[in-house]
Chains A and B, each alone.
Chain A
Amino acid sequence: MNKKTSVAMFGLLCLLGLWLLVGCGKKEETNEAPASTPATTGAPAAAATPIDPSTVASVSGTVKLDGAAPKPAKIDMSQDAACKGTNTAETFVVDGGDLANVFVYVKDGLGDRTFAVPTAAVAIDQKGCQYHPHVLGAMAGQNIEIKNDDQTTHNIHPTPQANREWNESQPPAAAPLEKSFAREEIMLPVKCNQHPWMRMYINVVKSPFYAVTGPDGKYEIKGLPPGDYTIAFVQEKLGEQTQKVTLAAKDSKTVDQTFKAQ
């Protein structure tokens, strides 16, 4: 191989690398179509299974933390002067043993039922360089509206296992982003790489039967058809715990749950 051929080969390899790079970086649509929707036929999604409103039951309760709550970690927001939020981490939000930010959902018992995806979007607000809420629930395919109320640029970067990853920046006063996730995924982490303390979790489920515990540790799931269910309680650090419950028509049962402090 002479010198000219070597230089030409080298140049071609560089061009190939750049072409691959551009190809990999093509902007992809991040509003995913639900996995169950047939993409080729254009057929509508399966109709929602009707539920008799006169028989629906509900389940509610309080989630508690048994033991001393870890001291909330301090956040140092000094790297961005525009960040003036509450400077404590929300990993554990506990008040008198009541545990907030626990995602509660019907994990099993709904069988093959399908449910209409709400047309209303759920919202995430970036305010004080923190995400509000810290834990969010949404149905697969439901729109998630992401706003930036801070005077600084954030990037929103979900790191899912079952859904498509994306990373977009949002400057101050920018229009809200509209996103959705196609597949069920619990405790899907979302972070901002510009402000590394910013972290939240989105829970994508197939049914509308979910809730997130408030500061008082309470939750309520309404509109369940009678049946035997497994209720799952998921906390970002303490993991998942489940309880079984049987609901008769018009039942209103209390299912409390306690996590042990580690």
Chain B
Amino acid sequence: MKSLATRYNRAHHGFAVFVACATFVLIIAGALVTSNDAGLSIPDWPTSFGSFSVPPLHGGIKFEWSHRAIAGSIVLLTISIAAWTWFADRRRWMKWLGVAALGTVITQAILGGLTVRLFQPPWVSSAHAAVAQTFFCIAVVIAMFTGRRWVEEVPAIEFDSRRPRLITLALLSIFVVYVQLILGAMFRHHGMSWWPHVANAVIVAFVLTWTAIRALSQFSQIEAVRRPAILLVSLLIAQLCLGFVAFLTRVAWGRDAVQPELPMVVSTVAHVAVGALLLATAVILAIQVWRQVPVSFEERAPSRTRKPVAA
């Protein structure tokens, strides 16, 4: 990545941060819809009760319509950030990252429409949940790539010689958290039992702890690695606590509840929100490890495959 090929643009970065924050609000709004069982309170899409005007916001409608309104705003914000990046950022890969963000948000809108029109089939609703967090990660990394630190700082390169490589662990962390997100979404949307999500939580806790310990024990002097590693562990602890509370309020105590109860709604929405932050942090850590702690050339090109260079 030619990080020095562009200049820091404060307004562009500020807008990218705003888009990422707004996306986080959208994830919370979406989680509120699911937790309040309000996904089909407006039976049509893209209109709401046959119109684009604001319907009476009572019952589940307030959750679903607010989610749609914020989502519509996010589409406009994404078009803006993609266009701004395309014209203002000199890095070619950044231009295409903006386009990827736009493609993801359009896919997400289509999945949102399908989940309403097909009466929330678990696989569509779960895909909607997974793509939401994918889009959040893209928004977060756009904010990071446009930041002053990324654009102006020279990476403190330290080679990683231990096995497994930290980059391997960081990528594995993203994978297990993403699988966990899909399992959680399938459970929330009645496509799967709760136990795969709970069982995978053990794997997630192990992999993330291992990754953070490796990052902090070996590369704590690199701030860009140390900070996301500490955040990763902190969020993991918070997420495990929230998961336990969500399990109690939804599975253990709330199984026969006649309506969504406040403790269940609060704990499950917080669990989704912290899960999104955890995934984004794992992505940031992996990118920073890739940038700051590259695998040495000898590792990338094993000796048996290297040929002597002709003099």
Contact = CB atoms under 8 A, between A and B. Distances in A.
Given A21-B117, A197-B259, A157 B107 contact: no
| Most chain B CB neighbours (cut-off 10 Å) among A24, A82, A196 | A196
A81 B58 contact: yes
Interface in B27-58: 36-45, 49, 55-56, 58
B58 A193 contact: no
A58 B55 CA distance: 51
Interface stretch (A49-57, A164-172, A220-228): A164-172
B45 A25 contact: yes
B39 A193 contact: yes
Interface residues of B, number: 33
Given A75-B259, A91-B258, A167-B43, A193 B60 contact: yes
A36 interface: no
Contact of B40 (A21, A80, A81, A193): A193
Nearest to A89: B258
B114 A196 contact: no
B101 to A, nearest CB: 12
A76 interface: yes
A193 B99 contact: no
B310 interface: no
B258 A193 contact: no
Contacts of A235: none
Interface string A83-106: 000000101000000000000000
Interface of B: 36-45, 49, 55-56, 58-62, 99, 103, 106-107, 110, 113-114, 117-119, 256-260
17 contacts: A14-B103, A21-B113, A21-B114, A21-B117, A79-B62, A153-B56, A155-B40, A155-B41, A171-B49, A193-B37, A193-B41, A193-B60, A194-B41, A194-B58, A194-B61, A195-B60, A237-B256
